[in-house]
Amino acid sequence: MKDGPDGIVLDIQRFTTWAGPGIRTTVFLKGCALRCPWCCNPEGWDPQPEILFRELKCSRCGDCLAVCPVPGAIDLSAPGLINRKICTRCLQCVDACRYKALLPVGSKLTVAEVMDEVLRDSLFYFNSKGGLTVSGGEPLFQADFTAALFQEARRYGLHTCLDTSGYAPPENLEKVLPHVDLVLYDVKHTNAARHHRKLGVPNWLILDNLRKIAGSVEIILSAPLVPGFNDAGDFIQELGQLACSLGIREVHLLPYHGMGEPKYRMLGRLMKFEAQAIDTGKLENFQQQLEARGLLVDIGG
Interface residues with ligand SF4 (CB under 6 A) are 51, 58-64, 68, 70, 73-74, 81-82, 87-93, 96-97, 99, 101-102
In the complex, the smallest distance separating the C-beta of residue 111 from ligand SF4, rounded to whole angstroms, is 27
**For ligand SF4, the closer CB: 53 or 145:** 53
**For ligand SF4, the closer CB: 87 or 176:** 87
| 258: CB partners within 8 A, 6+ apart | 38, 40, 274, 275, 277
In the complex, the smallest distance separating the C-beta of residue 35 from ligand SF4, rounded to whole angstroms, is 23
In the complex, the smallest distance separating the C-beta of residue 70 from ligand SF4, rounded to whole angstroms, is 4
**For ligand SF4, the closer CB: 61 or 201:** 61
In the complex, the smallest distance separating the C-beta of residue 8 from ligand SF4, rounded to whole angstroms, is 16
**For ligand SF4, the closer CB: 71 or 281:** 71
How many CB atoms neighbour CB 154 within 10 A?
17
C-beta contacts of 66-74 below 8 A and 24+ residues apart: 66/96, 67/92, 67/93, 67/95, 67/96, 68/92, 68/93
| Backbone dihedral angles phi then psi of residue 218, each to the nearest 5 degrees | -70, 135
**Residue type for 124, please?**
F
In the complex, the smallest distance separating the C-beta of residue 101 from ligand SF4, rounded to whole angstroms, is 4
| 79: CB partners within 8 A, 6+ apart | 55
In the complex, the smallest distance separating the C-beta of residue 87 from ligand SF4, rounded to whole angstroms, is 3
Residues 269 and 42: beta-carbon distance below 8 Å = yes
In the complex, the smallest distance separating the C-beta of residue 46 from ligand SF4, rounded to whole angstroms, is 13
**For ligand SF4, the closer CB: 30 or 175:** 30
**For ligand SF4, the closer CB: 101 or 158:** 101
**For ligand SF4, the closer CB: 99 or 156:** 99
